[in-house]
Every structure is written in C-alpha cells, then in structure tokens.
Copies of this chain bind each other. A is one copy, B any other.
Amino acid sequence: MTIDVRETARLLQEHDRILVLTHKSPDGDTLGCACALCRALTAMGKTIRLENSDPIPAKFDYLLKTLPQPDFEPDYIVAVDIADTNLLGEKLSIYADKVDLCIDHHQSNHFYAKATLLEATAGAAAIPVYRVLNELGAEITPEIATDLYTGLSTDTGCFRYSNSDAEAYRIGADLIDAGADSADINVRMFETKPLAYFKLVSLVLANMRMFCDDHVCVFKITRDMLDEAGAKDEDCEPFAALSRQIEGVKCGISMREKADGNYKFSLRTHAPLDASKIAATLGGGGHQRAAGCDAKGDEEESLQLLIKTAADMLGCGIE
C-alpha cells in the first residue's frame, strides 16, 4: 500500500517502540534519514534506534556519535532509503517480511513494506523524511538539519546532478537556516581524501592509456601502486568516476588488482554507450552508465575484449 506524508506521520505517531533499518553499505542518505527520525521521535517521547548490517564508515561518526541507541523490543519496523529487501544486508535480512513502513525515493522500489511513502522524483530519501517530520510538527534542531542535509547533499552529488531540482535547493536552504553547517558537512563528504589517495592518483594517471581515438580511457591500479602510495582498496573508488571526466571519453575503464591478484573492472560511459552491455562481454552487469565485471584469466586479454566491444559500439578501431 502506498501512503502519503500525512498518513506516514499518523502511523509513526501511533507507535512507541520503533526500529529503523538502513541499507547495506550504508551511505549518507540512509544514515541521515535514520538519524533524523531517531532524534525527532526520541524528542517526541518514543523509544527508537537504528540498525545496520554493515559497519558504518568512520566519516559518518559526526552523525552517529550523538545518537541515543537504546536497547528494547520493537513493535514497529521502518526502512529508509531501501528499495528492496535484498539491500537490507545479511544481519537485517531477518526483517525482510516484517517491514511495517518504508520511506524511499527509488523508482525501483519493490513495495515490500506494509505501507510505503515513495517520492520517486526526490533527489534523496531525506526529502520525504523532512516532509514527514514537518507534518509531525517536529522541531528541526541543528542535529536533525545536519542529518537531513547530509542525506540530501550526498545523494545529489552536492546539488550537482539532474536529480537536484529547485525543491532540493529550497529544502537545502531550510536545513541551513535550521542549523546545518553545509560547508563542514560537504568538506567531510566530498572534499577530504587521504594524502595516499593523491599519491595514487599521480601513479595511476602517469600510466593511463587511451584507445579508440581517445574515446576509451583505461586506468590500471596494481598492488604495487597501492603499496607505493600507501593507499587502501577504498582509495580506488573515485577512479571509476574520474575515467569518464576526460573530455571526449565515451567509455572509462578502471581496472584494479585485488588482494588475491585477480582484476576487477569498473566501467563508466556517456550516452550512447551502454556500460552494462560492455561488462556483459565478461559476464558482468550493472546500469546503462555504470557497470562492472571481473577479469577472466589474463587481465590484459580481458581488457582487450572490453575495448573491442566498446570500439565496435563506437564504430571505430581499437588504436
């Protein structure tokens, strides 16, 4: 059953012992929404805590450290920013058929909850959560504004992407007025990377290769490079996005040597190239503009297969 903001507020008002579920590999939106709900409903006298299947990255400590996390037996289960139950992760999978309320913004929501508030055009789940808190008459404290701004900013690439409409900007303004330190949050979320990452960038870019008249860019990250830079596997994450930012590049390929010596490919494309079709060459998959696959055997031979597929799609030679 899909419900509106008013009905969502009513359901939350009716319950007193609430568990809020966040999705696996938690991000700023799922955590920001959950923290905001926990803080607002605690202030209304309810008992509430959030749970997650995975460890929460340290960069979100500023949200979690002031959050009361009481121990109790819940009588109402709420999921935030979770489109499907397979995103609950292993630990929370026991709740898959027990979710009472879901607040989400994914068009792909599977309506697994008894009641779902879905705002599919919202840039972040933080937007419907903000509306629900307003409907509840909750005071948007600086902490809650910080939670929600974190969700809004991280899911819209700091208001950069097409999912950030005028309404997202206006709610961003409201949250700043309510006490969110936007600059501080954005520095934490977007502007801070370890020195080792920058060393790795230098090494990787020094070895980048271009194919198909510079329409295909390849970044290769070896364990030797990681060691030389003192970098971790998580420092490799931004290279996928970087590979597509080069002017004229239609397909960015970043390949990364895992600890076991095998390689993993991340593909990013611009229209009209379909990244998931290129990844399918090696049995991988994903979305139109972002996909991935594992190397089969020799990583350079696997790379040649991907480049050939992209070249065929682009109607150009490999060199």
Number of interface residues of A (CB under 8 A): 43
Provide the bound-state CA to CA distance between A248 and B242, in Å.
23
Contacts of A202 in B (CB 8 A): 201-202, 205-206, 208
Q: Is the CB of B162 within 8 A of A183?
A: yes
Contacts of A172 in B (CB 8 A): 159, 166, 169
Copies of this chain, count:
2
Q: Mark A154-165, 1 if CB is under 8 A from B, else 0.
A: 000011111011
> Chain A interface (Cβ within 8 Å of chain B)?
158-162, 164-167, 169-170, 172-174, 176-177, 182-184, 186-187, 190-195, 198-199, 201-202, 205-206, 208, 210, 214, 242, 244-248, 270
Q: Is the CB of A176 within 8 A of B183?
A: no
Provide the bound-state CA to CA distance between A256 and B217, in Å.
28
Q: Which 7 A-B pairs have the closest CB atoms?
A: A162-B183, A202-B205, A169-B173, A166-B173, A166-B176, A160-B186, A202-B206
> Which of A170, A193, A248 has its CB near the most chain B CB atoms (within 10 A)?
A170
Q: Is the CB of A205 within 8 A of B195?
A: no
Contact among B158, B166, B174, B187 with A177 in the assembled complex (CB-CB below 8 Å): B166
